């Protein structure tokens, strides 16, 4: 405290009182966060008891990660500590989310022994913003249904619900699945395959007979194949043909075969597996063997 009865403090005394360095206090003062209340006869900056309290607030805000611009606004009354804190929480959440994705990418790279090129691609795709990742999936779904007004709205809604994103804390497996999924849905060949499936669904809706529409429920085909395989019925056997006739009724086996071939290939099965993994639902059975049995039985029937 200077010896003039004013009770004012020099920067050195302020540093000793607060435990901060002279350099730090001088910097904050130069930046306008801690203006001196007066100057000594020798031109030295002087501070009062209110400056000590102000300095403690500055230190607290800085330790919480706020920039000097925000600190100045709080001190000037242009904003409140609560408002700045809320904005800072939002920014920190975004940083934390980004760090979690980075951690998952690095864990996946380490686990897989990825090359530098693979790591670059994984990092690029995984670190896309949530909005960009959502856009990739939504554009894929919109392209599938473009111009097909007759597709069952329930089917459209189910497809749109698959516009999945990485969770806040993705596992390395989810990062792997998201990267593969993002590449898949941007592949023109895969989009064409999916479009074909959707067009079949649209054609189903245009059929007049309810029985004709009911042919296309995948679960019905799945149950048929599951039961037949459990009984040891070969797809090319007469028993398999009888089972198919019972399920298909007056439906066109060739049309059913075309539909099943379009909807049960390995890439579509992989697509469903990836969606499930990204959603955190585990990897479901793609029922490749069951749908393969149906396709084989239909092909055998077509050859008879």
Which of the pair, 262 or 237, is modelled with greater confidence? Answer: 237
List the one residue out of 229, 264, 263 whose CA is nearest residue 243: 229
Q: pLDDT, tens digit, for every residue of 109-157?
A: 777 676 777 777 667 766 676 677 778 888 888 888 887 766 666 666 6
What pLDDT is recorded for position 283? 54
Produce one character per residue of 227-261: b if its CB has 16 or more CB atoms within 10 Å, e if not: ebeeeebebeeeebbebbeeebeebebebbbebbe
Q: pTM for this one?
A: 0.49
Residue 304, judged by CB atoms within 10 A of its CB (0-12, 13-18, 19+), counts as: exposed
Domain boundaries, the chain: 9-66, 80-199, 207-304
What pLDDT is recorded for position 209? 37
Instruction: Provide the token pair at 164.
Output: 């999945």
Give, for 47, the enclosing helix (H) or strand (E).
Answer: strand 45-47
pLDDT at 58 over 70: yes
- Ramachandran category for residue 43: left, alpha or beta (phi over 0 → left; psi -120 to 50 → alpha): left
What pLDDT is recorded for position 193? 82
What pLDDT is recorded for position 205? 54
- Sequence-separated contacts (24+) of 210-219 with Cβ below 8 Å: 211/249, 211/250, 211/251, 212/250, 212/251, 215/247, 215/248, 215/251, 215/255, 215/256, 215/259, 216/256, 216/259, 218/263, 218/291
- What CATH number labels 9-66? 1.10.1660.10
Residue 214's pLDDT band (cuts 50, 70, 90): very low
What pLDDT is recorded for position 207? 47
- Segment 260-269 shows an average pLDDT of 73
Q: Mean pLDDT: which of 27-36, 107-116, 218-227, 294-303 is highest?
A: 27-36
- Segment 36-54 shows an average pLDDT of 88
Which of the pair, 244 or 215, is modelled with greater confidence? Answer: 244
229, 270 Cβ separation under 8 angstroms: no
pLDDT at 262 over 70: no
Residue 270, judged by CB atoms within 10 A of its CB (0-12, 13-18, 19+), counts as: middle
């Amino acid at each position: 405290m200077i010896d003039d009865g004013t009770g004012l403090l020099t920067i050195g005394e302020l540093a000793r009182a607060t435990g901060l360095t002279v350099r730090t206090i001088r910097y904050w003062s130069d930046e306008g966060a801690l203006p001196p209340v007066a100057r000594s006869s020798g031109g030295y900056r002087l501070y009062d008891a209110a400056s000590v309290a102000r300095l403690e607030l500055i230190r607290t805000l800085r330790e919480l990660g706020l920039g000097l611009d925000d600190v100045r606004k709080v001190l000037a009354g242009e904003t409140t500590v609560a408002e700045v804190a809320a904005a800072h929480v939002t920014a920190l959440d975004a940083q934390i989310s980004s760090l979690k994705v980075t951690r998952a990418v690095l864990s996946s790279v380490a686990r897989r022994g990825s090359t530098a090129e693979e790591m670059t691609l994984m990092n690029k795709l995984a670190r896309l913003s949530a909005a960009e990742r959502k856009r990739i999936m939504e554009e894929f779904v919109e392209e599938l249904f473009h111009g097909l007004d007759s597709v069952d709205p329930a089917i459209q809604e189910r497809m749109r619900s698959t516009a999945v994103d990485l969770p806040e804390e993705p596992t390395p497996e989810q990062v792997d699945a998201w990267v593969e999924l993002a590449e898949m849905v941007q592949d023109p060949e895969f989009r064409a395959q999916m479009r074909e499936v959707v067009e079949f669904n649209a054609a189903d809706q245009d059929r007049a007979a309810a029985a004709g529409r009911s042919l296309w429920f995948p679960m019905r085909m799945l149950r048929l194949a599951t039961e037949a395989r459990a009984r040891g019925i070969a797809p090319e056997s007469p028993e398999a043909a009888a089972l198919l006739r019972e399920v298909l009724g007056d439906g066109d086996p060739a049309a059913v075969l075309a539909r099943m071939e379009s909807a049960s290939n390995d890439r579509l099965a992989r697509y469903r597996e990836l969606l499930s993994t990204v959603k955190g639902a585990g990897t479901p059975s793609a029922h490749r063997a069951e749908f393969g049995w149906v396709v084989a039985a239909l092909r055998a029937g077509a050859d008879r």
